[in-house]
Structure 1
Amino acid sequence: MNNVIVIEFTTLDGVVEDPDGSGGTPHGGWAFRHGPEAVAGDKFKLGTKLETGALLLGRGTWQLFSKLWPGRTDEFSTRMNDATKVVASRTLTDVGAWRNSSVLSGDLAEETRRLREERDVIVLGSIDVARTLAAEGLVDEYRLLVFPTVLGTGRRLFDAPCDLRLVSTEQNGAAALLRYRTD
């Protein structure tokens, strides 16, 4: 069975908002304070899922990534650029800026169920998309890269109680990759 996997950079206190500083929040850029190697490459251990799965992004995340990734040519960037990308947006119509992108048509939950029948679905950032899918019981796994930073304020991934099962932990430079299942 295919999975819906949510991947996020997060602080110790659960803030996922603006890890790169592009959102202009007061505490933005917190993940990058640990150096570029802290966020570069396949930190979330996606492996072949980039080739076989589909990336699901919200409009804001897609717009940011479509400016950053297409000009990069290292091995991981090539895999990101070649990946199938689906954008959840009610307003965006032109997704030609980043190859292999299409706009999700219809209801997010229904379309995600349909897409999961065909392949793994990987939600990158996109807090609202992740929260919507969680509320519908569609998230199978969380991969959280937790940085040793406490912000005290900012949007968090979880806005409702939930119980998760720890699958693995792995140190990744200054951060720790935590993998949780929802089952």
Structure 2
Amino acid sequence: MNDIIVIEFTTLDGVVEDPDGSGGTAHGGWAFRHGPEAVSGDKFDLGARLETGALLLGRKTWQLFSKLWPNRTDEFSARMNNATKVVASRTLTDVGAWQNSTVLSGDLADEARRLREERDVIVIGSIGIARTLMAQGLVDEYRLLVFPVVLGAGRRLFETPCDLTLVSTEQRGAAASLRYRTG
């Protein structure tokens, strides 16, 4: 069985909003205060999953990524650029700016289920998508990069209680990579 994996940068107090500062929030950019090496490369150990899986992105995340990734040529960027990308949007119709992108048709949860039958589904950022899939009980794994920052305010990934099983932890510079399974 394939997995739906949610990937997020997060603070110690669970804030996932605006890690790069592009959202213009008062505390935005908190992940990037630790230097580019803290957020660059395959910090979430996606590896070959980028070649065999599909990225499921919200419109805002896709629009941000479609400006950043296509011009990068390192090995990880090449994998990101070549990956299958499905964009959940009610307004976006042209996804030609980033290769291998298509707009999701139909209900988000139904399409995520359908995609998972074929391959792993990787949700990067895209808090709204992650929360929708969480509410439907569709997320199999969380990969979190936790930064040593406490904001006290901002959108959090987890809004309701849930039990998770720790799979692994690893230090990644100033941050900690945590992997959890559901169920």
Does 1:82 find its partner at 2:68? no
SS in 1 for 2:7: strand
**Unmatched runs of 5 consecutive residues or more in structure 1:** none
Structure 2: runs of 5 or more not aligned: none
Aligned-residue sequence identity (percent) comes to 85
Q: Where does residue 102 of structure 2 map in the other structure? A: 102
The one-letter amino acid of 1:147's match is F
2:132 alignment partner in structure 1: 132
Q: Distance in 2 between matches of 1:158 and 1:92?
A: 27
Other structure's SS at 1:128 match: helix
Deviation at 1:159, TM superposition (A): 1.1
Distance 2:155 2:135 in 1: 17
Residues 62-73 of structure 1 aligned to structure 2 (within 5 Å):
62-73=62-73
Match of 1:167, SS? strand
Q: 1:128-170: CA deviations, max 9, x gaps?
A: 0000000000000000000000000000001111111111100
Structure 1 CA distance for aligned equivalents of residues 2 and 91 of structure 2: 28
The CA distance in 2 between the partners of 1:161 and 1:127, in whole Å, is 17
Deviations 1:88-130 (A, max 9, x none): 1111100000000000000000000000000000000000000
The one-letter code matched in structure 2 to 1:124 is I
**Counterpart in the other structure of 2:181:** 181
Q: Which residue of 1 aligns with 2:59?
A: 59
How much is the aligned-residue C-alpha RMSD, in angstroms? 0.4
Structure 2 partner of 1:155:
155
Whichever residue aligns with residue 114 of structure 1, its letter is R
Which is further off, 156-165 or 135-144? 156-165
Distance 2:27 2:112 in 1: 32
TM-score normalized by the length of structure 2: 0.99
Q: Secondary structure at the match of 1:153?
A: coil
Task: Say yes or no: does 1:35 pair with 2:35.
Answer: yes
Tell me the matched-pair count: 183
> Any idea what the Cα deviations from partners look like across 1:59-99, whole Å, max 9, x if unmatched?
00000000111111111111100000000111110000000
Question: Would you say 1:172 and 2:158 are equivalent positions?
Answer: no
1:24 match: secondary structure:
coil
Alpha-carbon distance in structure 2 between the residues aligned to 1:75 and 1:33: 24
Secondary structure in 2 matching 1:85: strand
**Whole-Å Cα distance in 1 between the matches of residues 47 and 68 of structure 2?**
21
Q: Name the structure 2 match of 1:9.
A: 9
Aligned-pair CA distance for 1:9: 0.2
Secondary structure (helix, strand or coil) at the match of 2:159 reads coil
4+ residue stretches of structure 1 with deviation over 4 A? none
